[in-house]
Amino acid sequence: MATVEAIKLHKRYHDFVALDDVTLRAESGQLVTLLGPSGCGKSTTLRCLAGFLDPEGGDITLDGESILKLPSNRRGFGVVFQNYALFPHMTVAENIGYGLRLQKCPKPDMARRVGEAVDLVRLNGLEDRLPRQISGGQQQRVALARALVMKPRLLLLDEPLANLDARLRDEVRWLIRDLQQQSGITAFYVTHDQSEAMAMSDMVAVMKAGRVAQFATPREIYQKPVERYVADFTGEANFLACQSVAEQGSGQYRIEAGGTVLTVAGVQGLNGRAELLVRPETLRLAAPDEAADFNGRIVKCAFVGASQLCEIALPDGGTLKLTAAPNTPVHVGDAAAVVMDRAQAWLMPEVAP
């Protein structure tokens, strides 16, 4: 449908810099997620895209043409708000038909399109209810239908699932992804939930204090983060400090971490101190005669049903979290030998330069 680019956006609120050089790109039909903790500038970015805010610097383009000068009511973008922003005095059908009514869409045509949208989000039978007479999940689907019925060039969603309980969240998440893919609409999606971001997105932008820390595919964000912040925000992680690393060929390093010397992949051009990222699921307790990568002592363990969560202290002061099979005998204080999938370890700087 449309390729959308945000180029070097800058936005200030008085002296507070909310966006600093934010560059993003959504190819036609892609869903791009803005992921980051509260206050990092996700909503500000989205509001600039929607035209509710004017950035002080940078540009926003749609298929290569700047749309910065277009006011929000002429951008033709669909927006889904965290609080849904349904019109409380209009019925479900009136809410969904609002944009068509503004376009002076003929009555029968409008009724048909509203009907299709109602089918799409499975709200049949609720057309004549007011927003306060339906549940939160249903309100969310009205908001979605209201945005989609306009066949927008770009769909913008600001934490659309934040106010739903866990079960509904799952359901609506897949509904959003399905509808977005069926209609091929380009979309930006804001969330602070990493699993939501991973599962739905073609691309993820991890934001950090008004900047984009990393913009890449979910797999790359998770497995090859550019700095500790990104690794931390995208899932459970162990970090082992490495005092001095030297590159051996492009992106390959020979390091010492947790009392073991290893060769691992990592961010290019590192030297001096670095951090080794080891995801818990790439670790396991060694079988009796197996060669171990790390040797340490169990300092914590907890049985959680499907597995046991263990924390292992290493001789150099580092710790490793990992999960063990539910019936493996593990006790606090025991020695533990740990095997790592070396291909999945990743070396990166504490803070990207």
Ligand X SMILES: Nc1ncnc2c1ncn2[C@@H]1O[C@H](COP(=O)(O)OP(=O)(O)O)[C@@H](O)[C@H]1O
Q: Does 136 bind other proteins (CB under 8 A)?
A: no
Of residues 43, 138, 194, 308, which one binds Mg ion by CB under 5 A?
43
Q: Which x/- pattern, by CB under 6 A, does the window 8-47 give for ligand X?
A: -----x--x-x-----------------x-xxxxxxx---
Contact between 139 and 158 (Cβ < 8 Å): no
Q: Does 121 bind other proteins (CB under 8 A)?
A: no
How distant, in Å, are the alpha carbons of 243, 251, 254, 267, 352 from that of 271? 10, 11, 11, 10, 12
Q: Which x/- pattern, by CB under 8 A, does the window 87-106 give for other proteins?
A: xxx--------xx--xx---
Determine the interface stretch with other proteins among 26-34, 49-57, 204-212, 331-339 (rule: CB under 8 A). 49-57
Residue 318 burial (10 A CB sphere; 0-12, 13-18, 19+): buried
- Closest approach of other proteins to the CB of residue 84, in Å: 8
Residue nearest to Mg ion (CB): 43
Q: Does 77 bind other proteins (CB under 8 A)?
A: yes
The pair of structure tokens assigned to 353 is 């330069």
Contact between 81 and 158 (Cβ < 8 Å): yes
Nearer to ligand X, 19 or 100 (CB): 19
Radius of gyration of the chain from its Cα atoms, rounded to whole angstroms: 24
Q: Does 188 bind other proteins (CB under 8 A)?
A: no
Touching Mg ion, residues 181-240 (CB under 5 A): none
Contact between 144 and 176 (Cβ < 8 Å): yes
Q: Strand 31-35: give its sheet, edge to edge.
A: 77-80, 154-158, 186-191, 31-35, 203-208, 211-216
Contacts to ligand X by CB under 6 A: 13, 16, 18, 36, 38-44
Contacts to other proteins by CB under 8 A: 50-52, 71-79, 81, 83, 85-89, 98-99, 102-103, 130, 132, 146-147, 150
